[in-house]
Structure 1
């Protein structure tokens, strides 16, 4: 506490943030489901020196000229242009809204968009172009989410320190021909088996998860 002319600065209450995160995550385990998140490499990761360019599709003249992957369905980078394609594969509890299939008529023909919202934990950062996979076999492309932070005192509300939830992340179901269905596990039966794990306590997914870089990049501390 610091006093200036009778005023004071309230210190942040870390215990309150810890308790709120615990309650939020417990609610996800009560009414949610397991989801596998594929967090893809981005250009900022490359600029930060965390990943190199894809050795399969980013070395030809087309890729170098346009700064894009020359193959959308590259089996090495999955269209990201960066080696390995993803910086992390993690399983987290999540709650999805319900949605029915529909059809829309566009300039490209008839499409069947299906968009849902989801909520999950706050210990990782989502970017547009990341994916979520469900035990239904569906694979969804994520949009940048809103997040909930708990302000308990004076200070900048960084996600790493005070975020309690990732709220209302929009996600669109991908077409079965999408590169999303090339991400591991490529077989739907394997995905369903993984995400169907359950028990009296949250199961371990240590044999499935792959983490190649911080889940909240240091250059995105806010």
Structure 2
């Protein structure tokens, strides 16, 4: 009886949320030439990396190449509800992690490497769109006016220009979202990290002032913060 009660409570909890099942109609529609577009994106990113290596003799990430800081910590998994207790999160545990803060203009990033896991993930939006935007950035990345001219000729202009409207603030205070949706158990989710300590929330009030802050201010803020505080994030779906 107790088991049935728990099952019913879990079912009610799931039903109260607007979850999307992984096999629902319209969740995955493979567009024409998707594999070719993905391969083209990979080749473009590799081209960027080769150009950087030829110039500096160091290998950089194809995107978000500007490392602002690398820290280590722990991912703590609690006792989760049945629909959330999947794979790495199936039982309470603690995993060592490394996190890399990085930026592109208007686009902060935070990568997490779980040292106890080697599962790769491809985090792309629509492959065709990704190919088109990376190609524009390769051609016009150094000329914002020319880049904008081509972005404004697209039918998704507001989306592609949205990165320039993101607040340029302390990286440890910034919420981070996965670009793509993933299957998680029976549902489709997007992952996001929410800064949870009081200090991190307070830092969100700080923004970069281009007329008074040096170019490396984001890195310096991170160094100062992590030298004196622990960062805490909630990993959510």
Interval of TM-score (by shorter of Structure 1 and Structure 2): under 0.3
**TM-score under structure 2 length normalisation:** 0.26
Bigger fraction of residues in helix: 2
**TM-score under structure 1 length normalisation:** 0.27
